[in-house]
A and B are shown apart, each in its own frame.
Chain A
């Protein structure tokens, strides 16, 4: 493949990047993650978000009126709550005068909310912001075809009985067959592939076997189950008269390799290796983080010190049909910017959209030859990732991947774990549908 990706070296004024204040993450919380169609199917995205927002405020001790802006990630953009961040913020009890914006960078929307907040704080647009993400994938609607809505409008415009009848007569059965919003959303219009199909591309390209993928998925479940108590520290219960969810429902205690191996490939039924078992489930959930610049932390006089800091971040594009390796592209760019080599990073979170996609990233991080093929330069910065430091509390394959939320969840999970282990630096990165990657360099102290 001919490379259009060259060195990121010239893109940055490194000096400036080094002297910028870091972003402090004061605290955060998330709802449990619940597979779509389950307990949260009647809890709209704005309700999940407002619960997380309020909980984050109440637990950190930040008063609603101290928040200068609410920035929340969301992918599905529910039709009944346009600018879902604003709707959620008001329901959470934030003051009317506090502005709110919904950001959308596909699977990285939760991260986008944090980095946008960072940029806006650096530019002086406030001192403290409420970031995060929310997604209810259960509630992504079915869409009627354009032909249906055109005919419906014609019917409504018809006044006389005859006109109405003839308008009615124009409907054909295919007008009534809806398009599934969720599938549309998970299909990249540029390369025409569904996300699962892009994973198949990677599996073949990087020669990841079905067995490797299933073992990876199994480990994700085992790690997540073992981490129940640790994950509970970042989870708020969601309780209503009709439902009560206190933990993620994804991780399976009794997950076995045999069970995973029995599943059929769904995205390429003939030659495929990507199954529902080694793919992240479609999920509902929200997460909220309170952020401010490092130098302003003291002024809020909070009872606890910040969870950690964001030192640097980067987004980078990659081929849409291979969107799963976006993390490598973004990480190179980010490390360059921060002038921090990979070996100085203690803990890693690569979002598990697909097992083969994470495994591809690992291969790419470890192979200069492969990177050369993609025109990625980073020999001075990159090194292999020790799998025992990767996704130590399990990942999206077990926990789930509410697309607008996961970016914020990775930051929360990673920072909490860094605190527990006394780790200094962590990398949170994820792949983005449409061919992008996002990478964040986090620091505990």
Chain B
């Protein structure tokens, strides 16, 4: 007996018991998702069984590594009104509710990802059996998309595993593995992946009755209130109130817990229905799709080439030149991705420091149990130091990360030209020097190998890599670099070889402006707080301290030289340099860092005007719109292909708030004319650096937008 498309129903007799296996397998899709159609099919199956229930019902998936990946995000994206949202949620959870009420025990057999709606379906079952496979991940990631679990997750999960752990999973959207799920009580049993089917059968045989529900008695109301209010203030502190979803999730959990499950579900739907149509949700979903797209970024021209000539073999042995912060970080990350890395430096001490830094990161992941002891050992064993170029002979891709000094870099590549094999990609991690200048004067057939791979600090945490394409860079090299960046689980953005590339160039005016604001007397923490309030992960002055004022100075000098006066570093930086303020590294920058705490350095206010009366909105706009203006220039100069690339780059490179959908999406939403008007006003008051660029003015005048249509 088979139901429509997505679901197969198999009746089997296990040891004289009639067991119905409901097997999800969406045709022509790599994963199972709960589309309207799948839900309808499931409803039909459950409806048929209600009259004459079997002695057991098992939900499972035929897709390897996937149980059910969640609801169909495309369908959520289309929701534009509260009643539509309420209908979707109500119908869905009413249907899944039947898994709870049907007069036979129900089992979810999870051997793969079970996220969002997929996990919620399993939560309505009496029992959950999970596998120990590394592919098995369960979680409720809804809040990261600006909504809350809508199929009962906010009600069933706390009743199953308790309030605190449930809030943790719902508010972080964290995904956990099978063993952890068993420990939390989310799963009844974690069994070996290899004998999964046998173990499921054995479990079903041993548990012939429906489970008691709820599994945990609700917490005393004071405890509930206290826990929820603590969670609420933690969320508010972290999100500055910019994200409604986590607050809504807390409300749903708080109001539902302690009531009948059916009543709780009604409350959940009510709260859920206010979310899918919000701009935050739309932007988060849009960002989600953008990220997915850029993770798999491909260039049609290169795809064609690959079809004709075959895909380039992925590099397995790499070399990193320079064991400084960036070099060591890159080496650590490559090794953690399973690649062999030669780390070259000229001095034993530098190498020791570099490997030491890598070791610290690995120990950190080990302490957080993200890797096993053996993996940690292997990651460290794959980073091999060297003082000479001899062992670089077998490297297939080299990344140079020495000091930002052109003659020095050219010297390194002179040596690499001698030692590396012909097809080897020669990449530089420079943030400020032109790739073209590094490749200049080399044999024509070698110049094509040169490319920029600009990583961000700290390398293990920052997901972005700017792939910098110089005029001399060959398509072959670009294709290899692109495959490489994807293989090391970073998101690529392809940029042209112009000073500052994308992220640093757009970010510099923002940091520069924060210094201008300070020199006008605006308080340090006030500037940073407003940036945080806007949604930036770190205030500009704090960021400057973290990056290091010496590093910032170098970059700003390069940008000033390239782009003229609008990028002229604020005179205040000169004073900071004179006072020997380097930032966090010497515990003295805009802030003083003592014992792990930072405090605005009031000494900086000496000689500055008193705090002016300036509206917070003006401060935020000066910080953000100057970035919009620079991004518009980046686009019109063709440094990147489209506005989407700008948005992804700024999001991953600087943490530009995802709920705003991206820097240029923010400008679009706000209205380009309003941006231009504000920029004109600022340029009159504060200087020509604000003058909106021609393309931005033109685009605004024509009523255009940076983004033509929605991403897909």
A54 touches B384 (CB 8 A): yes
B336-359 CB mask vs A (1 if < 8 Å, else 0) is 000010100000110111011001
Q: Out of B340, B355, B378, B393, which one reaches A239, CB within 8 Å?
A: B355
The CA of A18 and the CA of B319, in the complex, are separated in Å by 44
Q: Out of B340, B353, B393, which one reaches A59, CB within 8 Å?
A: B393
**Measured between C-beta atoms, what is the minimum distance from B316 to chain A in Å?**
9
Residues of B within 8 A of A91 (CB): 378, 381
**Is A149 part of the contact surface with B, judged by Cβ < 8 Å?**
no
A93 touches B392 (CB 8 A): no
A380-395 CB mask vs B (1 if < 8 Å, else 0) is 0000000000000000
Instruction: Say yes or no: A237-B340 contact (C-beta < 8 A), given A59-B390, A59-B391, A59-B393.
Output: no
A241 touches B348 (CB 8 A): no
Interface centre among A50, A91, A236, A303 (most CB of B within 10 A): A236
B385 touches A241 (CB 8 A): no
A210-241 CB mask vs B (1 if < 8 Å, else 0) is 00000000000000000000000000110111
The CA of A177 and the CA of B536, in the complex, are separated in Å by 66
Q: Out of A47, A50, A58, A240, which one reaches B394, CB within 8 Å?
A: A58
Residues of B within 8 A of A114 (CB): none
Interface centre among B349, B352, B353, B393 (most CB of A within 10 A): B393
Residues of A within 8 A of B355 (CB): 239-241
**Is A61 part of the contact surface with B, judged by Cβ < 8 Å?**
yes
Chain A: which residue is nearest B359 at the CB level? A241
Chain B: which residue is nearest A47 at the CB level? B381
CB under 8 Å from chain A, chain B span 319-373: 340, 342, 348-349, 351-353, 355-356, 359
B381 touches A57 (CB 8 A): no
A57 touches B348 (CB 8 A): no
Residues of B within 8 A of A57 (CB): 394
B365-401 CB mask vs A (1 if < 8 Å, else 0) is 0000000000000100110111100111111000000
The CA of A120 and the CA of B112, in the complex, are separated in Å by 46
**Measured between C-beta atoms, what is the minimum distance from A49 to chain B in Å?**
12
Chain A: which residue is nearest B345 at the CB level? A239
A49-74 CB mask vs B (1 if < 8 Å, else 0) is 01100110111111100000000000
Chain B: which residue is nearest A57 at the CB level? B394
Residues of B within 8 A of A303 (CB): 393
Instruction: Say yes or no: A241-B394 contact (C-beta < 8 A), given A50-B381, A58-B342.
Output: no
B385 touches A58 (CB 8 A): no
The CA of A58 and the CA of B383, in the complex, are separated in Å by 13
Chain A: which residue is nearest B338 at the CB level? A93
**Is A246 part of the contact surface with B, judged by Cβ < 8 Å?**
yes
The CA of A91 and the CA of B340, in the complex, are separated in Å by 11
Residues of A within 8 A of B382 (CB): 93
**Measured between C-beta atoms, what is the minimum distance from B315 to chain A in Å?**
13
A51 touches B384 (CB 8 A): yes
The CA of A259 and the CA of B348, in the complex, are separated in Å by 33
Residues of A within 8 A of B351 (CB): 239, 244
A58 touches B393 (CB 8 A): yes
The CA of A233 and the CA of B393, in the complex, are separated in Å by 16
B348 touches A239 (CB 8 A): yes
Q: Out of B340, B359, B385, which one reaches A93, CB within 8 Å?
A: B340
Q: Out of A58, A60, A237, which one reaches B348, CB within 8 Å?
A: A237
**Measured between C-beta atoms, what is the minimum distance from B358 to chain A in Å?**
9
**Measured between C-beta atoms, what is the minimum distance from B422 to chain A in Å?**
11
B23-46 CB mask vs A (1 if < 8 Å, else 0) is 000000000000000000000000
**Measured between C-beta atoms, what is the minimum distance from B211 to chain A in Å?**
39
Interface centre among B352, B394, B395 (most CB of A within 10 A): B394
The CA of A242 and the CA of B317, in the complex, are separated in Å by 25
Residues of A within 8 A of B342 (CB): 58
A28-63 CB mask vs B (1 if < 8 Å, else 0) is 000000000000000000010011001101111111
A239 touches B391 (CB 8 A): no
**Measured between C-beta atoms, what is the minimum distance from A224 to chain B in Å?**
21
Residues of B within 8 A of A239 (CB): 348, 351-352, 355, 385
Report 27 cross-chain contacts, Cβ distance below 8 Å, ordered by A residue: A51-B384, A54-B391, A55-B391, A58-B317, A58-B391, A58-B392, A58-B394, A58-B395, A59-B390, A59-B393, A60-B393, A61-B394, A61-B421, A62-B394, A91-B381, A93-B340, A236-B386, A237-B386, A237-B387, A239-B351, A239-B385, A240-B355, A241-B356, A244-B349, A246-B348, A246-B387, A303-B393
CB-CB nearest 5 A-B residue pairs: A58-B391, A241-B356, A239-B385, A61-B393, A244-B348
B interface list, Cβ under 8 A from A: 317, 340, 342, 348-349, 351-353, 355-356, 359, 378, 381-382, 384-387, 390-395, 421
A interface list, Cβ under 8 A from B: 47, 50-51, 54-55, 57-63, 91, 93, 236-237, 239-242, 244, 246, 303
Query: 9 additional contacts, CB 8 Å, given A58-B390, A59-B391?
Result: A50-B381, A57-B394, A59-B393, A93-B340, A237-B385, A239-B351, A241-B355, A241-B359, A246-B348
